Amino acid sequence: MTASVHPEYSIEVERLKYILNYMKAYNEQIIKQKSKIDKDVEYSITHYNSDNAEQFNELMINTTMQENLNQRVKNLSKSLLKPYFARVDFREAGNETVQKLYIGKISLLKDEDNEPLIIDWRAPIANLYYEGRIGEAMYKCQDGVVKGEISLKRQYTIENAELKEMYDIDITTNDDFLQASLGSSKDNRLKDIVSTIQAEQNRVIRADMWKPLIVQGAAGGGKTTIALHRIAYLLYNHEDHLSPKNFMIIAPNRFFLSYISEVLPDLGVENVLQTTFEDLAMNIIGTKFKIKPTHEKLASFVEKQESFSEESIKLTRKISRFKSSLHFMNILRRYIYEIERNFLPKDDFRIHDVILLSYNQLQRLFLQEYSYLPFMKRMDEIKKNLTNTLRQNKGRVLEGVERSYDIKLEQVRSSMKDCPERRKVIIELTEDRDALLEKIKKESKTPIRAYMDKIKAKAPFEYYKEFMSGKEEYREYFHKYIDDAFTMEVINYTNEILEQVMLEVEDLAPLMLLRYQIHGLEDKFSVRHILIDEAQDFSLFQIYVLKSIMKSGSFTILGDLSQGIHSYRGIRNWSDLSRYIFKDEESAFLTLEQSYRTTVEIMEAANKVIKNLENEELPLAKPVIRHGEEVTVTELSSIKEIATSIKQKIEDAKKESFKSVAIICKTLQECKAVKQYLDKLKVKTEFITGHEKEYSGGVVLIPSYLVKGLEFDVVIVANASKDAYRKEELDIKLLYIAMTRPLHRLYIYSLGVRTELLD
């Protein structure tokens, strides 16, 4: 309701004024502290003396304080416009005092008595707002479970430090406050959802960090934004031993990263690693390769160009599925095992003719003692062994040589009378002894280097080429899983790519595994938790490699199997992750079935399409009760007519102050055809081809296979004809994805008769 109508409006206005005044004073105090620290840091840098350890320590402390103060000033400045969004009145069991808890994006305590003026939404007690109801309630904290009673839950809309709306609520689902939030434009929705986090979303955010978390989320269920809020929550609750750089977000493409780029800073989190799997792979492999964009292969399946026969498309899919499988991973591990067995030279480590460490002893060290390390790291340990062994035994070898010559000299002295011949023999033996001792001393300076020089570890790409070379000994590894004919198809297909010094995404996990097992990662990987968005398009092999590198199961994996357009290589069942990848950990599986993005009418139309998959294991998205216009399907006879009507829809959207419109065509070719007519009609669009790195909003023209994960105020499907979308898995998913992108309006056109998927 409008805030001024509420009976406690004046009380809340006074409270807001008090909080704002306190925050302004506190902000000025922090700015003064920051100014002083800035001067101290600047002085320390300009007068830096590298020999002064005390000065160095002071500089490090002040730099850390400077970063913290910078963040606090930034957070406070944002919060001055909207200091909090909710209130919970809670009385702890056994206590007569009712705590009035105001919840916001930061925490704020009174200096005088540490009274909490604002509770950070990530604090354990804030869970009362997200999951508690009026009456008996509880929350978990470090001290255990705290029980009590909630007597009030209130939500606020505060804009530019002014109280606009307030609602007293019980359950945070389907209330007026949520409706108002969902009705806003896309620009505001992605960043400001903290106040409307629902119970099922809250469970995802606050799930145990150290157990693998797998989330099946409906289209519009808020997977991406909830995932980002989860990182903010985990950082807040583990700040004592984790930093933002210990967290990594892996997104489907750079365009998507641009789309979410402002969310984490808005949550007060900076410096979280954000990357794509391809970029991460290049960083780990250590060599830059040209990677064939994943959307190009998918486009070849969707476009079905004349250059690709139906059979070649089927074969490409089959090869991609196999190379993404755990079978292929096991074959590669067999090859790595052979590299491991033959990694050491088949030589003893010796000085002169004395064996210091036999080949068998060295193999035992390499294969057993240091088996937990990458091969080259094992060699570092073996080098230490060689160094210690040489140091301990060099004197013994020299003494042995001297002893053997002493015996020879004694034999000469005892068996020959003193004469020139005897003296000559003794001199020769003495000279031989001294020469040999000198030779051994000289040799003992280089045997370690000589031994280590025999070990030549190739680059991962060279190993991979050898593995895929088609040699009979390597082909045999495949025959446990596939016949020789298909083995050669896989090998020939891969070599065609590799000969161009190019890779496909299916080649990256094998190369990462080779790099990790043989060379190690040095200091490239300090990540403690990985969050994967759109994970249904990841293969089990990819996630296995990430888990191996991480050496832990601290993952958040989110996706929607209904949107698995890369299912030819991606995950088809979430249980496979628990069964094969996280079998040693107790993984958690949660669902986000509620869809908050779009209206009931749009979601029902989209659900009608996805039902064509006839997969009972895929839960249908449940829309929040927010109604809008009926979805229209308009059949026209030409692209020119469609483009003309689209122009009118765009103009209507602008009149309604909608800020983002997507025109979605099935294929890139179709996009080009539509764009020609839109250009003639002077309709400005940003044409997305898959190579873009930034998202600037406005009107975009985009093929169906690039739109996953994005959302827009208005979506126009340019052609949903019976020829464009058939009753096939990929077509069903592409149309479903296109139809679940809008927040408010969905218009569908058909060039001729509409697809049966819409009936």
**pLDDT tens-digit series, residues 354-378:** 888 999 999 999 999 999 999 999 9
Per-residue pLDDT at 480: 94
**pLDDT for residue 572 is more than 80:** yes
What pLDDT does residue 415 have? 87
C-alpha span between 445 and 728 (Å, rounded): 70
What is the average pLDDT across 511-530?
A: 89
* Share of residues in the chain with pLDDT > 70 (%): 94
Supply the pLDDT for residue 550: 87
End-to-end CA distance of the chain: 40
pLDDT at 410: 85
Please tell me the distance from the alpha carbon of residue 658 to that of residue 740, in angstroms, as a whole number: 17
Identical fold between 207-333+457-592 and 620-758: yes
At CA 329, angle to CA 323 and CA 332, rounded to 5?
Answer: 100
Is the pLDDT confidence value at 529 over 90?
Answer: yes
Report pLDDT for 295. Answer: 77
Q: Of 482-491, 608-617, 629-638, 693-702, where does mean pLDDT reach its minimum?
A: 693-702
Q: Could you give the CA distance from residue 84 to residue 73 in angstroms, rounded to a whole number?
A: 17
Q: What are phi and psi of 56, to 5 degrees?
A: -60, -45
Contacts of 391 (CB under 8 A, 6+ apart): none
Whole-number Å distance between alpha carbons of 656 and 192: 21
Q: Reply yes or no on whether the pLDDT at 574 is more than 50.
A: yes
Confidence of residue 181 (pLDDT cuts 50, 70, 90): low
Quote the CA–CA distance of 254 and 279 in Å, as a whole number.
Answer: 9
Q: Mean pLDDT, to the nearest integer, of 244-271?
A: 80
**What percent of the chain clears pLDDT 90, i.e. is strictly above it?**
57
**Buried b or exposed e, range 501-527, using 16+ CB within 10 angstroms:** eebbbbbbbbbbbbbbbbbbbeeebeb
Whether residue 287 is predicted with pLDDT greater than 90 in this model: the reply is no
Which pLDDT score is estimated for 91? 96
**Cα gap 229→126, rounded to integer Å:** 14
Give the pLDDT of residue 172. 42
Confidence of residue 441 (pLDDT cuts 50, 70, 90): confident
Average pLDDT of the chain to the nearest whole number: 88
For residue 180, pLDDT over 70 is answered with no
pLDDT for res 123: 94
Task: State the Cα–Cα distance between residues 587 and 472, nearest whole angstrom.
Answer: 40
- The set of long-range contacts for 279-283, using a CB threshold of 8 Å and a minimum separation of 24, is 279/254, 280/248, 280/250, 281/508, 281/509, 281/511, 281/512, 283/524
Average pLDDT over residues 720-742: 95
What integer pLDDT is reported at residue 433 of this predicted model?
A: 85
Q: Which tens digits make up the pLDDT trace of 307-317?
A: 567 788 889 99
Looking at 103-107, 397-401, 529-533, which range is the least confident one?
Answer: 397-401
Rounded-to-integer distance, Cα 258 and Cα 350, Å? 59
Q: Is 696 exposed, middle or buried (0-12, 13-18, 19+ CB in 10 A)?
A: exposed
pLDDT tens digits, 468-477: 999 999 999 9
**Environment class of 410 (CB within 10 Å of its CB; exposed 0-12, middle 13-18, buried 19+):** exposed
How is residue 751 written in tokens? 């060039």
Per-residue pLDDT at 662 exceeds 60: yes
Instruction: Determine the pLDDT at residue 182.
Output: 52
- Please calculate the CA angle 248-251-253 and round it to the nearest 5 degrees: 135
CATH fold for the domain made of 620-758 = Rossmann fold (3.40.50)
**Band of pLDDT at residue 173, cut at 50, 70 and 90:** very low
- Upper half-sphere CA count for residue 609 (Cβ side, 13 Å): 26
CATH placement of domain 207-333+457-592: 3.40.50.300
Q: How confident is the model at residue 521 (pLDDT cuts 50, 70, 90)?
A: confident
Q: How far apart are CA 297 and CA 278, in angstroms?
A: 15
Asked whether residue 524 carries a pLDDT value surpassing 70, the answer given is no
pLDDT (0 to 100) of residue 190? 46
Comparing 151 with 69, the larger pLDDT belongs to 151
Q: Where are the domains of the chain?
A: 3-192, 207-333+457-592, 349-453, 620-758
86, pLDDT greater than 90: yes
The mean pLDDT of 115-128, rounded to a whole number, is 93
Average pLDDT of span 604-633: 89
pLDDT at 307: 55
d(CA 266, CA 225): 12
